[in-house]
Amino acid sequence: MKPNHQETTVAAVDTSTIKIGETSTGIIIAVRGATTRKQNHNYKYTRLGPYIFHITEDNKNEVYNTLEKSYFNTLYSSNRHSTPHLMQMPTRLASLLERWLQTMLAKTVENGLILFDGSLTSGTIDTPVQRMKDILNLARRNKSTVLAFSKMTSLRVNGYLITDQLPKHEPPYLLETTGVQFKPPTVVLGGVYVARLNKANYAFRLDIDREIPLQNRMAAIEKLLGNDLHMQGYPETLRLSHILCTFTANEVLAIKHFITRKHGIQIINRPDMHKLLFGPFGKGEIS
């Protein structure tokens, strides 16, 4: 691949969620999303949130459905997955926000590159196929290309992770994968590649909208190489989105302060049963 320095907007989106604590009836979670754009050699971000939810068994469906309806006007998942588990609610709500932010970028970025965190896999609980298709269609209509970078992948070839089998070729380069099979109902809406964007010894799974012709896919990667920084082979725009939306311990304290002060909600410190029962051998709850 050769970097193409033709001025192109690079936009990225990421969301983050965290469990703030437990109450006597449920959990308190916070969700935040960030989009970052690189335009005219400058990075600019928009950060939404944190949005704080007190989720209980009684309100979880109402919260989820209300948000889904207000974000997308449609309830793609209302029949199939109407009762998400309480503990899954943080990721489900973050995912909802992420898809909405992706939709907004797809609607507003023209002739640009839109970077997603993760893959273009759909048909999962929180990403109905139609919703992902709609996002990709919107992007295509605005002549933008969606590139989804996965930090981790479980795809293997001959027993090895696809990102570990790197040829001795001067980066930047893309490796195309063929014949990758996914279990239904999971559908991958992108071509799956391994991208090594600079000399750093890191490669990532990269999904590129399958509906885009091969030549245009390559052109999009070359524009990305020419328009964004790549620290450790990862696009800076996406890295910034991730950094900006991640919750720090300080923010968690501040959120706890807010909910106690503003709403008088008491967070319960439940004992860690692992530590309680097994002492130094208890590793704590894995969340």
Interaction site with another protein (CB under 8 A): 36, 42-52, 240, 243-244, 246, 248-255, 257-258, 261
Q: Closest CB to another protein among 168 and 262? A: 262
Q: Compare residues 27 and 104 and give the one whose CB is closer to another protein.
A: 104
Question: Least distance in Å: CB of 119 to another protein?
Answer: 25
**Closer to another protein at the Cβ: 15 or 119?**
15
Under 8 Å between Cβ of 258 and 52? yes
- Strand partners of residue 160: 157
Q: At its nearest, how many Å lie between another protein and the CB of residue 142?
A: 22
Instruction: Report the nearest approach of another protein to the CB of residue 216 (Å).
Output: 30
How far apart are CB 43 and another protein at their closest, in Å?
5
192 vs 259, which CB is nearer to another protein? Answer: 259
Minimum distance between the CB of residue 257 and another protein, rounded to whole angstroms?
5
129 CB-near residues (< 8 Å, 6+ apart): 122, 123, 185, 187, 189
Q: Which is nearer to another protein, 52 or 129 (CB)?
A: 52
From the DSSP assignment, how many helices (H) and strands (E) are in the chain?
7, 14
Cβ distance to another protein smaller for residue 88 or 246? 246
Q: Whose Cβ is closer to another protein: residue 44's or residue 69's?
A: 44
Contacts for 171 with CB less than 8 Å, ≥ 6 apart: 196, 197, 198, 199, 233
How many angstroms separate the CA atoms of 37 and 46, rounded?
9
- At closest approach, how far in Å is the CB of 280 from another protein? 23
SS3 93: helix
Q: Give dist(CA 250, CA 248) in Å, integer.
A: 5
**Closest CB 121 distance from another protein, rounded Å:** 28
| C-beta separation of 113 from 223 below 8 A | yes
Which of 44, 283 has the CB closer to another protein?
A: 44
> Residue holding tokens 């000399």?
199
Smallest distance, another protein to C-beta of residue 209, A: 27
**Cβ(98)–Cβ(68) below 8 Å:** no
Helices marked H in the chain: 60-72, 89-108, 129-141, 214-227, 236-245, 249-263, 273-278
Task: Catalogue the E-assigned strands of 96-233.
Answer: 113-117, 121-122, 145-150, 156-157, 160-161, 173-176, 187-188, 190-196, 204-209, 230-231
